[in-house]
Chains A and B, each alone.
Chain A
């Protein structure tokens, strides 16, 4: 039902994929445990010295969790182009359930060579030695945004190349905006202004602003108040700034000018926005593709999120190209990653399925090609990342389950429980 924790994909696509899968738990566990296709050998140990890459003539497998046909086709084309150039066979596999399939691959000792890897999974896989860190060997290493590199750095090792990234912005329905008598000058820059326009936009049929009830959206208010969940490796969830942020949201929820997308019958913010049940939504880059598919006639504007007491703030999401420690052909895989993260290739990916290139050298051309979306890229300057420590995903899942009840919850005790859960994993 809900969007994946941090992976910024189209939730609708995710739901369909989920619908295709089912299973019995013991069966699934048993399969994972017995899926040791290549015997019970442990494979080559992950070299601590990232210098020794394996090489050979083995074909490469790339495992991706695709948001839809356009992403699948774009990645397949790019890999095929590399394959032709290098003369090495490479195939793309589409995962129904990426996390589960990755886990099965690592357990069997025969994982895909390259795969999408999310920030909340990297710490766990790095800890058990499933990943081959290769970041520092990339030719275009210094071209990646430093904040993205930081996300994929575990124990001082830059593990994998960020494949792209997205930020959250404020998406405004142009028609409803002008119907309410608002102009371009009224785009909110502060919390007060946001509350004001949201109230003005709220009618019997629609709410002013919507977002899904999860940290991956509400976190922007924490960032704007100057808070965060983890700062410099320490848990700071119970800060006064975070309390202020949640109380601000509570006030607006109470007033009825903000509403959770789930409370107005939508699976995610983009759906509520598309059906015009909400005039504004906080969403990321992926919303543009979803709106173009499902609601092509909707006119909208992408604006930067308003600043809070501590200035502007938003959240960033990214995935990287993970490389398996058990891959028999890591040198070729590294070459493929360089191809996939090259400036031209990333610009093409962006054009075909939406996310922003993870390299600075593509920024200028990207802004030029997407003048109406620059707010997303501007947000990158001050964006925060969700915590990526091992176990952080569970803490955030627990926080999200509490945020669903935010309207009746006590912000302070809610954040206290998050702090208690975060402390053991940040120590």
Chain B
């Protein structure tokens, strides 16, 4: 794979010890794992909210963090588009002001910033929401606004924390397709936390499975389905092997650590 970004970090946050290596290209990377496995912490670390005790984070040709070289860019210089779980819209600002928050000189009278913010909203089919307050938006609308706000700074990577989880089933199907199209058009690499196999397939994502602070398996979804390294992978990817039998451990590619599939 032609990796355009990679992160190899060690850090401790509370009781959780993270030892993670992730890498991706223009194809989105889906980060899958049980609750508490450290997925959100990894996203926030790449965004610059946590400082690893050791490691390297690089996006394109820019090094965001390198403990050996003493590099640690603050979040405002990382050019990452972070969309937290629940979307994190600023409740005190109208949609348009949310989107242009990241543009320099985001004053009410700055027509350049206004135009760029409107253009991004337009691309996401959300320009009619410009004067609305976040609390009046539906889940799908919030998601589009949050994505617009992240894209307006022309990020080098998008970090999306469960971008579809807050939506009902119907909205989820629509938004999943739109998100996939949007990511493909923008050609911005993305790291997407999700629990849903449908999201992974629609996004054509490369999967990294995280358990207890470590990546236990990586690869395309079908490979994970046929050769699950852990019980969790088998459950998520609906592998028949989980119930009908299991190959010897050494035959499973990419298996690293985690609970092995129990023998039949």
Q: Do A and B associate with each other?
A: no
Chain A residues proximal to chain B, CB less than 8 Å: none
